[in-house]
Amino acid sequence: MFRLPEAWVWDFWLADDGQDYHLFFLYASRALKDPEARHYRASIGHAVSSDLVDWERVTDALVRSDPPAFDDLATWTGSVIRHPDGTWFLFYTGATAAPNGQNIQRIGYATSTDLTHWDKALDNPVLEADSRWYEKLDAGLWQDEAFRDPFVFADQDGDGWHMLITARANHGQADDRGVIGHAWSPDLRRWELRPPLSEPGQGFGQLEVAQVETIGGKAVLVFSSATGGVAASRHSAGGIWSAKAESLLGPYDIGNAELVTDTSFYVGKLIQRRDDGRWMFLAFHHETDDAQFIGEISDPRPVQWNGQTLVLAGETHRISR
């Protein structure tokens, strides 16, 4: 388990450099007292492990920029991927303040040669919501301009890279517009925004921190949605969800997504262990039974297929396909 006595830890993502595993995480001081205040005080921390269990905290990766900047309010969730030339890319969400306490989210990146020293790109942000497909803040239907949580992976046929994005469609019922946004890049630096890979009306106001992987030849999409981020007409609770995927780029069966865990955990992440090739599942401890925020990252649990269902070994919670 990864816990900081002085700070809450929540959303996170992982990278494997071939020797160590790297944990990048959002954190904010417990001196804020109110856990809800953490979002606008978030920085991106960094820890290293050889086994996904024992973590050594190292130099922070990123903090927010001085205003005016697209990330002058907070730096939020992202992903890390390595270019074939050896350069590491950290894609992240930048938030800036909007009227009435709202915020606008856009996506930028930083680069590194060693996963330790990061330089933000001069052309940030590289992506933002486009009203041709995605909801903007001026629609007045949501608490922010949702466009965040970039998850980047290489195209299976070698045609550049793809990015999954937490976004909202520009049409549909207000609490049911959550979609998987999509962008494509030839080189990880230049990005082309494309229509979403899913449709609204699938039961979610937002699909946070999406990840898609192929495990044992079967694709699966994992995402999170809090109780306040699901369409009340479809679901009564939030947590970590999974959906069948015909391929890494979908179609995704989001309308029939199943709960992996309740809100005691949030932000489920899959990573393949290097020594034996087994896939592991981590999440952050979200809240107690009486809804008190926890803020620490779990130990890994192995996953395996049980027929068409991916299960957490030793648990009743399931990731189904």
Partners of 208 in beta bridges: 224
With beta carbons less than 8 A apart as the criterion, state whether 153 and 248 touch. yes
Dihedral in degrees, nearest 10, Cα atoms 299, 79, 48, 28: -80
Q: 234 is written with which tokens?
A: 């479809």
Task: Name the strand (E) or helix (H) holding 149.
Answer: strand 147-154
Q: In what order do the strands lie in the sheet with 74-82?
A: 74-82, 88-97, 103-112, 119-120
Q: d(Cα 301, Cα 312) in Å, to the nearest integer?
A: 7
Q: Tell me the whole-structure pTM to 2 decimals.
A: 0.96
Which pLDDT score is estimated for 261? 84
Residue 316, pLDDT score: 44
Q: Output the CA–CA distances (angstroms, integers) from residue 21 to 13, 148, 274, 281, in the order listed.
A: 11, 24, 9, 14
Q: What does DSSP assign to residue 279? A: E
Who's near 108: CB < 8 A, 6+ residues apart?
A: 70, 71, 91, 92, 94, 120, 121, 124, 125, 126
Tell me which residue of 290, 284, 230, 232 sits closest to 257, measured CA to CA: 230
Owner of token pair 């020594």: 275
Q: With a cut of 50, which residues of the chain have pLDDT below it?
A: 316-321
pLDDT at res. 310: 67
